[in-house]
Amino acid sequence: MPNRRTVFFISDRTGITAEMLGNSLLSQFEEVDFQRVTIPFVDTTENIDAVIEQVNETAAREGRRPIVFSSIVDEAMSERVRRGTNALTLDLFQAFVAPLESELALRSSHAAGRSHGIANSHEYFARMDAINFSQTHDDGAATRDLAKAQVILVGVSRCGKTPTSLYLALQFGIRAANFPLTPDDFADRVLPGSLLPHKERLFGLTINPDRLHKIREERRPGSKYAALENCRYEVRECEHLLEREGIPMLDTTAKSIEEIATTISYRAKLRRHVY
Amino acid sequence: MPNRRTVFFISDRTGITAEMLGNSLLSQFEEVDFQRVTIPFVDTTENIDAVIEQVNETAAREGRRPIVFSSIVDEAMSERVRRGTNALTLDLFQAFVAPLESELALRSSHAAGRSHGIANSHEYFARMDAINFSQTHDDGAATRDLAKAQVILVGVSRCGKTPTSLYLALQFGIRAANFPLTPDDFADRVLPGSLLPHKERLFGLTINPDRLHKIREERRPGSKYAALENCRYEVRECEHLLEREGIPMLDTTAKSIEEIATTISYRAKLRRHVY
């Protein structure tokens, strides 16, 4: 395996930021088969030294040095990793602290970050509230309290409403409900009555019928529900209904959940409750 | 407002990575009141120039230059932002491309990243499967298919099981079920029968009783369920039950969802399906 390389994501907290930025960088090098190892909560000298040993053993065993994405807030700890490892160490955090200190004319506190932390009680409750709300208002399960939704996602079954609602709640603290549009609605050629008072907060999701067919086949193989012909009918009617009603619409076919959620929150100018 | 500063997160994709790393850096400067603006999907010259104008107008209006966290994959586009803006521009992506290219002896593809993308169909379905699973197996709603769970979170009502399960599914593609432990179980002094075949995949969550009381009061004010005395009883009995059964346990009180999910996936050595 000439083009194999081990990658470590090391953090004094969860390592999720290091993974996200690191993976985004690694996706630029498709020729390489990266083996990923995440080591979170590296926040003592003993932990750091154990990680250094693991990285160096990997380097020796594989005959090529690993890549280390490090996001450690403590400067001395971070330096210890950089100096101690036989690796390409990319320090995602330290690289930007100095220019920020200089720009703001302040010293950074060098305390482990607290974004998304429970330390901020207001954000914590806002986020829990959003998650509860999105769970309770999934798939049209509750129409009470729809007035409290910041956005109500509508579309045919399996077009991406549920994961998008959950992501909006978890990542951004946005109260997102979702409501299915069904063949009954298409026959009536009108929106479900419970949605009408909230029309200005509806956001439509649509999807390529072939893709929908594939997704529904995973769930109910061979059913009428999953049949390509039915998927084509539902998507066409749903799009017509949304267009007639002037509801904004997004095609989810080639998009990740992150992209769908970001597009909706940006276009609908939704206020986030979590940073 | 002397210590106020506008911060832009600019990305050719969702900007979520830029926000996460940026906010982690900003949390080091608590004295400053940061005003945040995220501009996703900046991927044409026209978009870039509109952003540059917006940043420069902000600089002129506020009399101090904004901070720009940029994660744009295209080198020329990124350079255009850096040169065109009157701002401190921190380029979260470009900063690490050159050392990676040199280390790997490869040119990066400079194509917009696709991590979490739908382009990877296997990851897409694994993630959707995990989200469906966690939704269906929330709060003990389904005991069928528990054998397919990678982890089953157990604990008293409102200790953090639901958001953690959802986060494990959304961020890591891990199939996480959750199951409440109730006063009935504590009276019987045994685990619910449906959990027994899966004991080795149980993971316990616990919480400080005062915190639990506060959380439950938000939900059902003045109820016996929320009473501090009852919270103390449930937490104590739950912890004893988990200890007797030898089930690993994590205190969620002072932790964010990210920290809880990371700790569980790391300790239980869960295989991730999403990168």
In tens, the pLDDT along B26-63 reads 999 999 999 999 999 999 999 999 999 999 999 999 99
B interface test, pick of A8, A14, A88, A205 with most B CB neighbours within 10 Å: A14
A interface test, pick of B3, B8, B11, B28 with most A CB neighbours within 10 Å: B28
B256 contacts in chain A (CB < 8 Å): 116-118, 124
In tens, the pLDDT along A122-149 reads 788 889 899 999 999 999 988 888 999 9
Assign domain B121-267 to a CATH class. Answer: alpha beta
B257 contacts in chain A (CB < 8 Å): 116, 127, 170
Average pLDDT, chain B: 92
Say if residue A117's pLDDT is above 50.
Answer: no
With CA atoms as reference, the chain A residue closest to B36 would be A275
**Window from A15-19, A23-27, B269-273 with minimum mean pLDDT:** B269-273
Return the HEC string of chain B: CCCEEEEEEEECCCCHHHHHHHHHHHCCCCCCEEEEEEECCCCCHHHHHHHHHHHHHHHHHHCCCCEEEEECCCHHHHHHHHHHCCCEEEECCHHHHHHHHHHHCCCCCCCCCCCCCCCCHHHHHHHHHHHHHHHHCHHHCCCCCHHHCCEEEEECCCCCHHHHHHHHHHHHCCCEEEEECCHHHHHHCCCCHHHHHHHHHEEEEECCHHHHHHHHHHHCCCCCCCCHHHHHHHHHHHHHHHHHHCCCEEECCCCCHHHHHHHHHHHCCCCCCCC
Please tell me which of the candidates B67, B106, B259 has its beta carbon nearest to residue A31.
Answer: B106
Looking at residue B124, what is its pLDDT? 81
Fold for the domain defined by B4-104: Rossmann fold (3.40.50)
Tell if the CB–CB gap between B90 and A113 is shorter than 8 Å: no
Please tell me which of the candidates A118, A127, A215 has its beta carbon nearest to residue B255.
Answer: A118
Tell if the CB–CB gap between B92 and A253 is shorter than 8 Å: no
Looking at residue B122, what is its pLDDT? 79
Please tell me which of the candidates A27, A127, A262 has its beta carbon nearest to residue B113.
Answer: A27
In tens, the pLDDT along A53-95 reads 999 999 999 999 999 999 999 999 999 999 999 999 999 999 9
Tell if the CB–CB gap between B25 and A109 is shorter than 8 Å: no
B interface test, pick of A96, A125, A207, A255 with most B CB neighbours within 10 Å: A96
In tens, the pLDDT along B138-180 reads 999 888 889 999 999 999 999 999 999 999 999 999 999 999 9
Tell if the CB–CB gap between A17 and B14 is shorter than 8 Å: no
Please tell me which of the candidates B19, B110, B162 has its beta carbon nearest to residue A28.
Answer: B110
- Distance (Å) from the C-alpha of residue B96 to the closest C-alpha of chain A? 7
Residues of chain B with pLDDT > 90, as a percent, come to: 85
**Window from A18-27, A233-242, B16-25, B112-121 with minimum mean pLDDT:** B112-121
Ordered by start, the domain boundaries in chain B are: 4-104, 121-267
Looking at residue B218, what is its pLDDT? 87
In tens, the pLDDT along A29-64 reads 999 999 999 999 999 999 999 999 999 999 999 999
The kind and range of the H/E element at A123 are helix A121-136
Say if residue A114's pLDDT is above 70.
Answer: no
Count of A-B CB contacts under 8 Å: 199
- The closest of B24, B185, B128 to A219, measured between CA atoms, is B128
Mean pLDDT to the nearest integer, A221-226: 97
